[in-house]
Amino acid sequence: MSWSRLFMGFSSLFQVAFMAVPHHSQETSYLLPPDPEDWEKQGTLDFVYGQEDLVGKEIQWPRDSPSAMDTVPLSRFDSALRSAWRQRLELGLFRYRLEDLQTQILPGSVGFVAQLNIERGIQRRRPQNIRSVRQEFDPEQFNFNKIRPGEVLFRMQREPKDPATPKQEDDVLVVINVSPLEWGHVLLVPAPAQGLPQRLLPGVLRVGLEAVLLSLHPGFRVGFNSLGGLASVNHLHLHCYYLAHPLPVEGAPSTPLDPKGCIHLLQALPAPGFLFYTSGPGPDLEVLISRVCRATDYLCDREIAHNLFVTRGAPPGPTSSTSDLSGIRVILWARKSSFGIKESGAFNVALCELAGHLPVKTSQDFSSLTEAAAVALIQDCLLPETQAGEVRAALVALMAQEEL
């Protein structure tokens, strides 16, 4: 069986498994009441979790056949998210009904996962008028305080049992993305009433990392687009979604950029990114959050657009494998700023495209897309080599300050 047909099987079976979420009576239900007039009265329910719910190891892609995807166990988080998301789909709260997406693995050495998603290209909300990576929040523009009550699935609520665990200071809502990339596509929105601009903060990054650790699915990913990095809404949010396919970034080799191994450079990919890694929950997770946010603060302060992707993956090193998902990889790309609607090209380059997942907008582009064409589109968005080298040196210097 070819890799393309194998992964097509993964996708179809994943959708069946997604739709067949069991409901356990002892668990909180995050479903909306039958009468839409009661949706707002119900309020936002909490998904409460603790350290014991975070799974750092023993998550793997099925090795034998596509049918093995149907046996991937569900965590409490997976069940809550999937059942609530599926109900909102049935209620018509999305801009389009997401069907099983036609998927292919582009021939070549990279392993791009291309998916045909025509409706997203047509129906998604028009991006806001953004002119700066540091643009302030504008309450007159669309923001997540304006969404319908039914679009909120639940609120993430950390239950700290260890005094060393940082207290979650702000509400983080899990909201459907009404123009989904894939099944289960949601947004993490921290303290929406505060009107935070799209600039990464430690609190929401922590919840994003914990969401990956709460899921037992190897393809549950989290990401962030800065302003100028194709964020379409200037109101702080992260993307989360399931993709039933391994991606190149999970096991791509890397080299350390500093003696302590705080930051690595991802190699053998069209878009070299800065790699941060942790083996799982615990003190190292907080260290990673601090390093990543210092890096993104540096980029914001200098008007450098960026994208970030979080996935289970292999430890840093010269040789890795997508079969090794023993920790969490956070990949950060500095890139050219891009403002406004971009219609040229088979796909737009943001967090998932840089990671190797290519949502393609038209059937013609999907059938004709090659690895070489995809690489060219992605590399056209990267910083010039001189500026990339300056950013690399600056981030290494930032990591060195941690030791002082």
d(CA 78, CA 215): 6
Would you report the helix, strand and coil content of the chain in percent, each value rounded to 5? 35, 20, 50
**What residue spans of 215-321 are helical by DSSP H?**
283-301
Which residue among 185, 235, 237, 357 is the active-site one? 237
- 197 with 137: CB under 8 angstroms? yes
> Is 237 known to be catalytic?
yes
Q: Which residues contact 111 (CB under 8 A, 6 or more apart)?
A: 105, 246, 247, 248, 356
d(CA 83, CA 216): 15
- 351 with 394: CB under 8 angstroms? no
Give whole-number Cα distances, 242 to 43, 160, 178, 239, in Å: 26, 27, 15, 10
Task: Tell which residue, 45, 44, 40, has the closest CA to residue 28.
Answer: 45
The DSSP secondary-structure symbol of 314 reads: P
Which are the catalytic amino acids?
A: 237
